[in-house]
Structure 1
């Protein structure tokens, strides 16, 4: 098994369990203890996990800001992205929504649409609760207070049983090589489930996320159908993203 695939499986196990040990990973990866230790050391070095005696645990990056702090950043850009993205969602869609401030800006403009929204984020559900036309499905799970997202096996089970027209994914980083990423493995795993269950994957992110890499990889860019962003995106970055086949939609401020 190639190293990149082992890294992916290690992150998947951590996203599900929060902690792994070397012996367990030797079976999952079909690799030697020495190989597993080297892989864990490498992932620890780049900040993806925290090494422990005999294994590793997932970590929340110290750079992750609480939701109420993030919501104040690039407000006008997020509002514009929210309006533009909402206008593109067809009636009758089943839309999966991760948490995050940009996705929150989108759902504010979905309240009059006849759609179903599936979410693992309590703030998304509460924002839509007053709508008479939106049907809301909430995953359940273990709540992360910093992001208002629910994660863990309960959330996984719910999300894996639903088919989605569109997955709306909020991210903390978009990089040509590392794909889309966020701060915790649990949230990355939940977002990856949304992507797996969806016909189309729409990423919503303001220009400040471009070129950044957060600790936990959600998916490669090849999984993304559309990117909704603002005019602050670097023209070179935009061309590179479009060259992969992703439709880049710029929201007017």
Structure 2
């Protein structure tokens, strides 16, 4: 399945931050699009000063160019840095957690930013993220259960859960997780099969599902389905002044099937 351009570009930037370089052929296979489509994406990102194209792919842009691009973007009306958006989402999500709760957190950036806000609560956290578990290493009030599995070095998460019995014997009240894309019709979707498989185990044992999705995830598509939209309890997202028609339609569709929408604020 093809992904929307804004989602592809964000994933390309995420990969560059982790690896430093990317290959056009690999990107075309990953996203299921033509080489020309990837070339257009890279052209647009280079024009914004975010990457530098090289033969067969691209590398991260020099820091001077990225700073110049960041200043230009910050001057745009309605602009909010991605990190800031995720912090707003994390704050709104953490407010849903009460003492005594058993919650699940995936290894996503949004879930990671929830951790400092939960550090003093008396809760149990079930997670497939080593990065998440380590955040509570010095907490006297948070009990952590790791699902076990194969370590995915890219984001320090555990996939292909090797201890399903752990989840069979625990009732998780609230699950907070992110995904590649959300569609009211197609559901919550993931780019990686392994990650989707690991998340489905957490979702299956959870009573209330909270999807942490910034505006770039709304209205997109990806190959693997985590769950149907109707299974969600709430979507926690940011307010974005430049929302596209697809983003707006996605949230309307979510509300139509009875899912709550919670907006992150300062």
Q: Same-fold call, TM > 0.5? A: yes
Q: Tell me the distance in 2 between the aligned counterparts of 1:80 and 1:115.
A: 22
Q: How far, CA to CA, are the matches of 1:216 and 1:104 in structure 2? A: 23
Contact kept in structure 1, 2:176 and 2:210, CA below 8 Å: yes
Q: Match of 2:25?
A: none
Question: Can you give the 5+ residue segments of structure 2 that lack an aligned partner in the other structure?
Answer: 3-10, 19-80
What RMSD over aligned residues (CA atoms) do the two structures have, in Å? 2.3
Quote the Cα distance in structure 2 between the aligned partners of 1:181 and 1:155. Answer: 24
Q: Map of 1:134-153 to 2, 5 A cutoff?
A: 134-153=142-161
Matched residue of 2:251: which SS? helix
Find out whether 1:241 has 2:190 as its counterpart: no
Equivalent in 110, 123, 128 of residue 115 of structure 1: 123
Contact preservation (8 Å) 1:67, 1:100: no
- 1:250 is aligned to 2:263: yes
Say if 1:168 and 1:217 are closer, same or farther in 2 by CA, change over 3 A: same
Candidates 106, 111, 115, aligned match of 2:114: 106
Q: Deviations over 1:142-194 (max 9, x none)?
A: 10111211122414443343210111111111112221112211111111111
Residue 131 of structure 1: how far off its partner (Å): 1.5
Q: Indicate whether 1:196 and 2:204 are aligned.
A: yes
Query: TM-score, normalised to structure 1's length?
Result: 0.70
- State the secondary structure of the residue aligned to 2:177: strand
Quickly say closer, same or farther: Cα 1:227–1:66, change in 2 above 3 A.
Answer: same
State whether residues 97 and 118 of structure 1, in contact with CA within 8 Å, keep that contact through their aligned partners in structure 2.
yes
Contact 2:148/2:161 (8 A) holds in 1: no
Distance 1:68 1:198 in 2: 32
Rounded Cα–Cα distance in structure 2 between residues aligned with 1:199 and 1:187 = 20
Aligned to 2:178: 170
Whole-Å separation in 1 of the counterparts to 2:194 and 2:132: 18
Instruction: Name 2:101's counterpart in structure 1.
Output: 93
Aligned to 2:237: 229
Match of 1:57 in 2: none
Q: How does 1:51-66 map to 2 (within 5 A)?
A: 65-66=14-15
Deviation at 1:91, TM superposition (A): 1.2
Q: CA–CA distance in 2 between the matches of 1:87 and 1:105?
A: 13
Q: Distance in 2 between matches of 1:125 and 1:67?
A: 26
**1:236 Cα shift?**
3.6
Give the number of aligned pairs. Answer: 192
Distance 1:235 1:152, change over 3 A: closer
Q: Deviations over 1:9-59 (max 9, x none)?
A: xxxxxxxxxxxxxxxxxxxxxxxxxxxxxxxxxxxxx38xxxxxxxxxxxx
Q: Structure 1: any 5+ residue segments left out of the alignment?
A: 1-45, 48-61
